[in-house]
Amino acid sequence: MTCEIAVMNKRGLALAADSAVTVGEGEKIYHHAEKLFALPSGAPVGIMIYGSAEIMAMPWELVIHAYGRELGQRRFDRLDQYAEEFFRFVEASAALFPPDLQRDWFRSLVGQYWRTELAEPLAHRLKAEGKETSRAANAVLAELLERDHATWNSCPAIEGLGAAHGDKVIAEYAPALDSLESDLFGGHSLGAEAKRGLRATARFMQTQQWIHPLDRSGIVFAGMGEAEPFPAVLEFAVGSLAAGRLRWFKADEARVTRDDSAIVAPFAQGDMVHTFYRGIVPDLDAKLGGIVVRTVAHELKMHDAELPPERMEKLEKAFRKALEEEIDGRYQRPLIAAVDALPRHDLARIAEALVSLTALRRRMSLGEKETVGGAIDVAILSKAEGFQWLKRGGCAYGVARPAS
């Protein structure tokens, strides 16, 4: 995990990112990863990464630097054009992601999904019911696939990766899917409907807005294009390539406008920003209404009285409304007004402080790993001065990052 912060107003924006990276299954944490990058063009655009530090076993750091060389001194009118050009570059990088790698990676991801969501539940059901026949296996698998497809259908489609791409993937990787089916379901004689259902799941994995947790990276483009007066951040979920196409979609965005003149945006672990904005930690914020209602119910019961459920529900809604008004009036609006008035270097101080507070919270929390920590990289971006490093490796710009 990680913590990255963007603090923006009309004058520009500041970015801060920690350097902790989790390796393997979370058993080892290093503190010298680069997660914040500048483009060589000098444009006021930065890139941050979180989640998986690699795409298909290739470090994002190397991919971003290669994109920077390809970009050169070119600039775009809009921030989203930098992102779209980056994703096109990744798709065209056959040297980094050759066809054989794409096929093997696809097989691995589908295999993990089929195993955990279909093959293992199938085996458990058959064992529990004492039915090991192929007929029983096909019936149970049909139920599992029906529920699975209903879940997939509730996910939006990835723009630009429609049915035609899904069909291409299934056709191009048919031998890999046949082999995988034999490995996971070879003990059962699957019918044509089950086979089609399995491949429909594999097709959904390529066309819907869901990416396997082991394959998912967060990519944030921050800054402004040549024709954009105010800064923005665009957050993307990115997966791997299959049949020459990269799975990515926009997860969120935030833009400074004349009306929304200041924004504090967290990425990955954002609980301290929530606390900063709202004056209350997220867990307590979520539970507070229920705590109040249960307390009131208990006190009424102690006096041989009670409210009907609908009155209790109204009480909780009234409490939440009053709390939101208090938070907005005493915390959020004053904070935004303060951020709106700050110069860029003060924006950077806020961004760095929020990352530091998140790291301290992880360090002081029993039972939680220190997944945020290490040196903090800080940069400011503006139309006038482009991208400027303030700190790299926890030191003022110009001092080298320590070796890993």
Task: Convert the pLDDT of each residue in 329-343 to its tens digit.
Answer: 888 888 888 889 999
* pLDDT for res 332: 84
pLDDT in tens, 384-400: 899 999 998 766 665 44
Cα-based torsion angle of the residue sequence 230, 382, 236, 30 in order, rounded to the nearest 10 degrees: -150
For the chain, residues classed under CATH 3.60.20.10 are: 3-91+216-280+329-396
Q: In this structure, what are the phi and psi dihedrals at residue 345, rounded to the nearest 5 degrees?
A: -65, -30
The length of the chain, given as a count of residues: 404
Residue with tokens 């069909």: 167
**pLDDT(170) > 50:** yes
Q: pLDDT averaged over the chain?
A: 88
pLDDT in tens, 326-384: 888 888 888 888 889 999 999 999 999 998 888 787 777 666 666 677 889 999 999 98
The tokens for 188 are 């059962």
Q: Compute the distance between CA of residue 118 and CA of residue 121 in angstroms, rounded to an integer.
A: 5
Please list the alpha-helical segments (H only) found in 258-308. 271-278, 282-302
Of 117 and 309, the structure prediction assigns the larger pLDDT to: 117
Q: Give the CATH number of domain 3-91+216-280+329-396.
A: 3.60.20.10
**Cβ atoms of residues 16 and 386 within 8 Å:** no
Coil vs helix vs strand at 2 = coil
